[in-house]
Chain A
Amino acid sequence: GAVVSQHPSWVICKSGTSVKIECRSLDFQATTMFWYRQFPKQSLMLMATSNEGSKATYEQGVEKDKFLINHASLTLSTLTVTSAHPEDSSFYICSARSGGAIDTQYFGPGTRLTVL
């Protein structure tokens, strides 16, 4: 199946710093990527939809100035958590839509963010 990578796989940072997470589709082009966050023992919650070459669409309750999304190419989307605080600690997962005849989403392996 299609491969999606994320970098870094985990990151620990101090409160107040910004953290950038990359999501890449390795063997296909993705015009649309999605960013989710997942708290322990909970389901995935969609944060935003990232469209190549245009502004991201954020879900209700997600601060767009805090979670900056850039989708600069068909294979790369980035999520920057600005001025991170401990409550931002979570598992962040991206997915990329494959398009084509069988259109579905493939997920990256996730990034564990811990804010001290």
Chain B
Amino acid sequence: GQQLNQSPQSMFIQEGEDVSMNCTSSSIFNTWLWYKQDPGEGPVLLIALYKAGELTSNGRLTAQFGITRKDSFLNISASIPSDVGIYFCAGPHGPNRDDKIIFGKGTRLHILP
């Protein structure tokens, strides 16, 4: 079945640094979703991408839907302590936007003091 591969698995950065993480799949996705999960909380939707090549920003976050439809990246600029958490990419498990969503294994972001 479809799988989402996220990299890196974890990142250790200094406050103020920019962050880049990506998500790839062996099959095509028609929607890419990026979520952030804080400890003990449910995931929160950060950015939704619906069209190949689409580049969307949400504050310091920018995400792009790859042209091949098999990848997406998320960038965070000028990281701050509250950016710490797990970032998941996700997408519908099928050709339709309302198919059930599958998740990557996540990228854990740590900010060094």
Residues of A within 8 A of B (CB): 1, 4, 6, 32, 34, 42-44, 46, 49, 91, 93, 95, 97, 102-110, 112
- How many B residues have CB within 8 A of the partner chain? 19
A109 touches B42 (CB 8 A): yes
Residues 1-44 of B contacting A (Cβ, < 8 Å) = 33, 35, 40-44
**Which of A6, A107, A112 meets B43, CB within 8 Å?**
A107
Query: In the bound complex, what is the Cα–Cα distance between A110 and B43 (angstroms)?
Result: 9
A-facing mask of B82-113, CB < 8 A → 1, else 0?
A: 00000010000000011011111110000000
Question: What 4 pairs across the A-B complex have the smallest Cβ distances?
Answer: A107-B42, A110-B42, A43-B105, A107-B43
Query: In the bound complex, what is the Cα–Cα distance between A93 and B102 (angstroms)?
Result: 14
B45 within 8 A of A: yes
**Which of B41, B43, B98 meets A97, CB within 8 Å?**
B98
B45 touches A44 (CB 8 A): no
Give the residue among A4, A44, A91, A93 with the most B Cβ atoms within 10 A.
A44
A49 touches B100 (CB 8 A): yes
Query: In the bound complex, what is the Cα–Cα distance between A94 and B106 (angstroms)?
Result: 18
Q: At the interface, is chain A mostly helix, strand, loop or mixed?
A: strand
A2, chain B: closest CB distance, angstroms: 9
A109, chain B: closest CB distance, angstroms: 5
B71, chain A: closest CB distance, angstroms: 18
**Which of B33, B102, B105 meets A42, CB within 8 Å?**
B105
Residues of A within 8 A of B76 (CB): none
Contacts A/B (CB < 8 Å), 19 sampled: A1-B45, A34-B100, A34-B101, A42-B105, A43-B88, A43-B104, A44-B103, A46-B102, A93-B42, A93-B43, A95-B42, A97-B98, A102-B48, A103-B98, A104-B45, A105-B33, A105-B101, A107-B45, A110-B40
Give B31's nearest chain A residue, CB to CB. A104
A110 touches B41 (CB 8 A): yes
Residues of A within 8 A of B97 (CB): 103
Residues of B within 8 A of A93 (CB): 42-43
Residues of B within 8 A of A97 (CB): 98
Residues of B within 8 A of A34 (CB): 100-101
